[in-house]
Structure 1
Amino acid sequence: MDNNIVSLIKQGESQTVEFKTSFGKEVVVSVVAFANAQGGKIFIGVNDNGSIIGIDIHNETLKDWINQIKVNTQPQILVDIYKIEINAKSIAVVDIKEYPLKPIAYKNRYYKRVQNSNHLMSLDEIANMHLQTINSSWDYYIDERHDFDDISQENIEYFIEKVEQNLGKTFSDDPMTILKKYELIKEGKLTWGAYLLFTSNNSAITAFQIGRFKDPITIIDNIDINTNLFKQIDTAIEFIKKHLMTEFIITGEPQRTVKYDYPLEAIREIVINMVVHRDYRDSGNSIIKIFDDKIEFFNPGKLYGNLTVEELLSGNYSSQTRNRAVARAFKEAGIIERYGSGIARIQDECKKHGKVEVKFEEFQHGFKIILAKIEKKSNVGVNVGVNVGVNVGVNDIYEFIAKNQPIKANVISSNFPKVTQRTIERYIKQLKDEDKIEFIGAPKTGGYIVK
């Protein structure tokens, strides 16, 4: 065993190893941090550099330390402490197991081990750890702020219909009984999950903002979505589609194939993941920014369950869900296929598309996904840009209006960045003169449609 201990010490402090020169309150803090994480060992009598300096250990020393740890932790925990000799020097090894009922506190402060240091946990982290321990989640808890007047019967029926279609069965129970079976109603009251899924009002909790940007500060078009979660997905995707470029591929079939400049399936998967995994207790909004060369998707709430971006990309992780009630409802309705497969599908769709790469990163208090167009280097020269602009003709503008009507002239222009504003205006005038399109609505809010 001594050889294993020496090897651990040589590797230095880590997620599961800590060095201390003496016993004190910092040892108790480390015990709590390890118990709230994966467990670990504290070596007392070893300095920060891993040098064994030794420590005086008397007959009652270890018992006294065990008791001090016990009385200073809430709930009280017992650890194993034993003495070993290395190079004629005594050190103590505190062996801590991961505690099954988390979190553990030291003087009403909660710590967890993160890499090689002890991290003071936030209120959200404490709540999440407790919910994980009891195998529950926030959205299964009763919502005392809203009642049945705040949800829509139509939205409930939509959910039930989707579940019946997906599972190939017909419910014989009434809607309220079905929601009880899904634990969306408890003790005759709404849960937070029920409110999010079926709200009939504009809800600040579900606020979702999407904007089409010409540059980082200039917004061409935008939408605020404050609906129930089911409606959010289709509304968000339709808005994004309106601002994507399209090309028509001739396949020999009567109908031409339309290809967007971003993979639609990847976008749909990202939006669904945003809705399902968002931290709805965070005051921030879900935000999508559409630029000429990229789309940024930001969601409040970092990766759940101490998951890192590296683990996420490796695929070697156990999927955990922040909003279990919402995730279950989406799975039963057939909106998500299986837990933990979304990231792989996003990567696969971008790879199949061939012209977009995807990036994942934690950003401030949340998580960001970026779909960026791949810049292809060419030796052809400046004529490429000129030819791209020339090759966009009046028929392309007509087809774009037909697909996205009603649409404003500035939005049309933003989707053809290689074509000058004057050329777009000339094409629009030509189509109007040929009686192929018309403008409907007020000047500020209306747009062009095909006749």
Structure 2
Amino acid sequence: MDKEELAEIIEKGEDSFTEFKEEKINSDDLASEIVAFANTEGGKILLGVSDKKEIKGVSRPDKEMQRIENISYNNCEPSLAVNIEKIKVNNKIILCIYIPKGPERPYRTNKGVYYIRTSSGKRQASREELLRLYQATRSIYYDELSVPTTSIDDLDILYFRRFFEGFYQTKIEDMNVDLDKLLENMKILTRMGKKLVFTVGGYLLFGLNPQKHFPVCKITIAKFYGNEIGEEFEKKDLEGKLEEQIEGADRILNQYLKTKVKIEGFENELKFEIPKGVLREAVVNAVAHRDYHIPSQIRIFIFDNRLEIMSPGKLPNSVTLENIKLGVHSERNQLIVSYLAKMGYMTQIGTGIPRMIRLLKEHTGREPDFEERDQEFIVRIWRPALW
């Protein structure tokens, strides 16, 4: 947002999508404002602007941004991911807090109160409004929500072109539609007022620099010595687009795991201690099904006797630790899953986990373990004792 846009918004005043607040607002009040927007259609809070449209500014913007993120995560239930933009006006800093239409509505404050947004501000939601919120969320997915401060300029056009022409077997120019409309139709971009911005999934898949707005959407691989977490370890952070993270994890894991050459006639066959298909399935599942609004990365820990793949978020909806082994699945991130399938990483029919179990039993004689711990889903793969 530039100074001119900010001036127009302030001049227009508060409405269903805009709220002015001064820096002194306490945590509970700010949480109630965030919850109200998330339960309705989303919106923005201009922190550092008074009700009388005076620009007061924020004295310590970086510290205040940290406080806002803590409030959205700890004072809102379920926690929310907000985007915060700094805007400098007349040597004063305004913080624009963008609150998305919540994918897990209804939200409430940590005091147990549900709010909704109206043209005159916020108010507590009635019982009927709460019921409607529950019903409406069935069609909302976090990866289809907007990333407010992005634009089509953030598109990696060469990467997108390679994907499009490879999958659809036609050139973009032959589609007889403007690029921005094509991207909107593909849910890579979405409308936010008069502007086209990225969806969360579109940005993570095709953005030039996904970590600019989602710094923890990455994979961290750590190699420990022994079978327990210790002080000495090797660590690698894999960033970039989702496909780049998957391919990077594939390369790093192949470096750390053991291989041997099996000679068949005149041919040499390289065999891995854990089938490559198993590792690929575990990593792709973590990337596809993690909860992206939890501010944490996917972690892969390598021990002497096992691998642990830990993805943020518990199993979604009706999926349990028992029925996941039978192929029962629920897509938390429909947009991301659909594109990973188009890229050849997934089938979208729930066969990945049963196949992983079968391959491991054939190769190592032992099934993987599945565990939920705090806000993480863990896949534990045991390495063969003799290799």
TM above 0.5: yes
Identity of aligned residues (%): 26
CA distance in 1, matches of 2:361, 2:343: 28
Distance 1:161 1:130, change over 3 A: farther
Distance 1:102 1:284, change over 3 A: closer
Q: 1:230 aligns with which of 243, 250, 272?
A: 243
Q: CA RMSD in A?
A: 2.9
How does 1:201-240 map onto structure 2 within 5 Å?
A: 201=209, 203=211, 204-215=215-226, 216-240=229-253
2:273–2:384 CA contact under 8 A, matched in 1: no
2:208 matched to which residue of 1? 200
Distance 1:359 1:261, change over 3 A: same
Q: 1:342 aligns with which of 343, 348, 352?
A: 352
1:290 matched to which residue of 2? 302
Deviation at 1:236, TM superposition (A): 0.7
Distance 1:169 1:302, change over 3 A: same
Distance 1:102 1:297, change over 3 A: closer
- Residues 189-219 of structure 1: CA distance to partner in whole angstroms, max 9, x if unpaired? 2111111112222611412100111132144
Deviation at 1:348, TM superposition (A): 1.9
- Unaligned regions of 5+ residues in structure 1, if any? 1-100, 111-125, 377-387, 389-451
Q: Is 1:247 aligned to residue 255 of structure 2?
A: no
How does 1:143-292 map onto structure 2 within 5 Å?
A: 143-164=147-168, 172-173=174-175, 175-187=179-191, 188-201=196-209, 203=211, 204-215=215-226, 216-252=229-265, 254-292=266-304
Q: 1:309 aligns with which of 302, 317, 321?
A: 321
| Alignment size in residue pairs | 253
Deviation at 1:103, TM superposition (A): 5.6
- Residues 43-85 of structure 1: CA distance to partner in whole angstroms, max 9, x if unpaired? xxxxxxxxxxxxxxxxxxxxxxxxxxxxxxxxxxxxxxxxxxx
Deviation at 1:277, TM superposition (A): 0.6
CA distance in 1, matches of 2:200, 2:357: 32
**Structure whose CA Rg is larger:** 1
- Residues 332-372 of structure 1: CA distance to partner in whole angstroms, max 9, x if unpaired? 22221223222112112212323553111112211000110
Which structure has the higher relative contact order (CA within 8 Å, separation 6+)? 2
Deviation at 1:169, TM superposition (A): 5.5
Counterpart residue identity of residue 198, structure 2 = L
2:81 matched to which residue of 1? none
1:212–1:221 CA contact under 8 A, matched in 2: yes
TM-score (normalised: structure 2) = 0.59
Deviation at 1:227, TM superposition (A): 0.8
CA distance in 1, matches of 2:308, 2:299: 8
Deviation at 1:175, TM superposition (A): 4.4
2:156–2:206 CA contact under 8 A, matched in 1: yes
SS of 2:378's equivalent in the other structure is: strand
Distance 1:320 1:130, change over 3 A: farther
CA distance in 2, matches of 1:264, 1:189: 37
Deviation at 1:300, TM superposition (A): 0.2
Counterpart residue identity of residue 334, structure 1 = G
Distance 1:130 1:236, change over 3 A: farther
Q: 2:337 aligns with which of 322, 327, 348?
A: 327
Distance 1:197 1:130, change over 3 A: farther
TM-score (normalised: structure 1) = 0.51
